[in-house]
Structure 1
Amino acid sequence: MDSTEEQQPVVRMRGRPLNETNGTNATNGTNGAQNALQRGLEALQENCSEETEEIRKLDSQLDHLNDYMSKMEERLKLHNEKLMETLRHQKEEREKRRRSFHERMTQNQAEDTAFQQQMASILNRVDSVRNRQSIFDIVNNMDIPKLEFHALIGILEYRAMSGSMGVKSSRKQVFANRNLSINKLF
């Protein structure tokens, strides 16, 4: 077994087998430590150069992404300003239309009430004409003081005797024809 262990390297660094100077046969002297340190530094430099290149690529991609995001923020800001301006303009237009609508509504309501009042007054006049009694009925129902009534009879007698009836009429005929004479007066 000892012969097989010596043939196979115990530790491999990045796929390189250990040589005899740094293997199990090597002494713990400065030569072995320097060789190990040198191999570690070489491995680190390989990793660093690869990682540094990858970091540079990622940094440049991040810079491009930041530039793109800055441009997009500017575009969004401009778009947002335009949108807010449009919304403000639309709000002003809606407010104008709303005020105009309310003005027209109040004007229409005022016109409607004026029209309704005119119609009511016209209908009241028509109803009063329909319901109006004849003048004869009004005169008959009036409370005429006796002095005025006698004066009215005197006027009627005068007209009757003055020849409008043709023949001198008696006082009874005048009273009998009173309704006819009153109708002629009015």
Structure 2
Amino acid sequence: MAITADGWTSVCQDHYLTITLHYVRQGKIEGKVLCTKAQTGIHVAEEIEEILQEYRVRDKVVAATVDNAANMAVALRTLSIVRIGCFAHTLNLAAQKIIKCQSISNWAARVRSVIVWMKSVTMAKVVLKEKQKLLNLPQHMMILDVKTRWNSSYLMIKRFYEQFPAIQAAVMDPRLRKQSDKEK
């Protein structure tokens, strides 16, 4: 058996720890969330130990996949559980470094500001939908990226390019130009 352990923060800024157990049953990989509980401090090893003991799987767990957080590495070393770094987390860290490059960062910020504006102005959404129909483009909503998910930046940019002709047409629409003048 193996586990994945992830410390995360809710929108209310409460800290949680989720432990998921992974195993093979009749040749099929299965997983079960054992527990999501408030993370009470830096004693992650004790919290993981407590959860594994509670579910009587402590002696069966041989490895854990976790992010690159130092507290997780220390916890697993303390518990003598083999640590396997999460590839998706490592990839996200690498992509975030690339996204922070000045030229990419500036360009993404401009794309982001257009999308934020289009999502926040009701008439912009209406006009965009009209232009999508007129230009025979898929009627997709714009995607706004999320910092902790590198692929959301990719999806935001991909959607922006897909919808660029409709975005250009919408921005030039007199109804939005009037709206923009009112906001100044």
The bucket for the TM-score relative to the shorter chain is under 0.3
Q: Which has the larger share of strand?
A: 2
Higher Cα Rg, which structure = 1
TM-score by length of 2: 0.19
Q: Which has the larger share of helix?
A: 1
